[in-house]
Copies of this chain bind each other. A is one copy, B any other.
Amino acid sequence: MCELLGMSANVPTDICFSFTGLMQRGGCTGPHRDGWGIAFYEGRGCRSFHDPSPSAESEIARLVQRYAIKSLMVISHIRRANRGRVCLENTHPFSRELWGRHWVFAHNGQLQGVKRLPLGFYRPIGTTDSEHAFCWLLDRIRTRFPEPPRRSAVLWQHIYALTQELNLLGVLNYLLSDARYLYAHGGTQLSWLTRRAPFGRAQLMDADMTVDFQQETTPNDIVTVVATRPLTDNEAWTVVPPGTLTIFSAGERVATFGP
């Protein structure tokens, strides 16, 4: 079982607290046995760290935890390999450029026969189902919209339609970003939580760690965290119904598409 973690915020926010929770998860032989990766948007740029190996990862994971990179949008993934061997090119999140923007994708689940879906422009570098699905998704978006559509809702609707197609193939929990919005699809399992004033204390489920967000925030901050499973046990997470695509911007939910 892979674990996803995403963040959308209206002010640059670090993800240290949630990342610490995430790092506790992922298997019995180690906290993140088959690698992990994280992508931070910073303006139009995107900074990402990937680590396929448990020994190497600790160094970079420590950097990420300590260094407190602040970002408006983050996508992170801990991998337990089911398809594709453990190596750097198979480590999520994957990224490609479309319309001069960084698109980033991380996926949890298996998609039966996804590699039979034809690809056009984008091609996988590694061998995972997930990267193939991502390339297919971008190809289809690009074919439909050679230029970005004026109205975001038109794009969202198209992404939802493509997601429904992919979802027929198996388990599709994903986090996707086009550098503007965070798209979170819960095929079987996904939860999210928006924190805003008045802020309170949060207690991680997976580690003995509490944060008092009132100390860390200003009254105008709005931050949404999306995760495979809730990360804290004293806050009200929204568990999305299977087949739901939720779209976030600047820390808030802006749209939901679902059955």
Contact = CB atoms under 8 A, between A and B. Distances in A.
Contact of A89 (B44, B48, B52, B88): B44
Interface string A97-130: 1011110000000000000000001111110000
Q: How large is the interface on A (under 10, 10 to 19, 20 to 34, 35 or more residues)?
A: 20 to 34
A45 B88 contact: yes
B125 A102 contact: yes
Interface stretch (A59-67, A152-160, A208-216, A236-244): A59-67
A60 B48 CA distance: 12
A89 B59 contact: no
Interface of A: 42-48, 50, 52, 56, 59-60, 63, 67, 87-91, 96-97, 99-102, 121-126
A97 B126 contact: no
Nearest to A122: B97
Contacts of A47: 50, 88
Nearest to A41: B88
B100 A123 contact: yes
In the complex this chain forms, how many copies of it are found?
A: 2
A59 B50 contact: no
Contacts of A96: 97
A122 B96 CA distance: 10
Contacts of A45: 50, 52, 87-91, 125-126
Contacts of A126: 44-45
A178 to B, nearest CB: 12
28 contacts: A42-B87, A42-B88, A44-B87, A44-B125, A44-B126, A45-B87, A45-B88, A45-B89, A45-B90, A45-B91, A45-B125, A45-B126, A46-B88, A46-B89, A47-B88, A48-B48, A56-B67, A59-B63, A59-B67, A60-B67, A96-B97, A97-B122, A97-B125, A99-B123, A100-B124, A100-B125, A101-B125, A102-B125
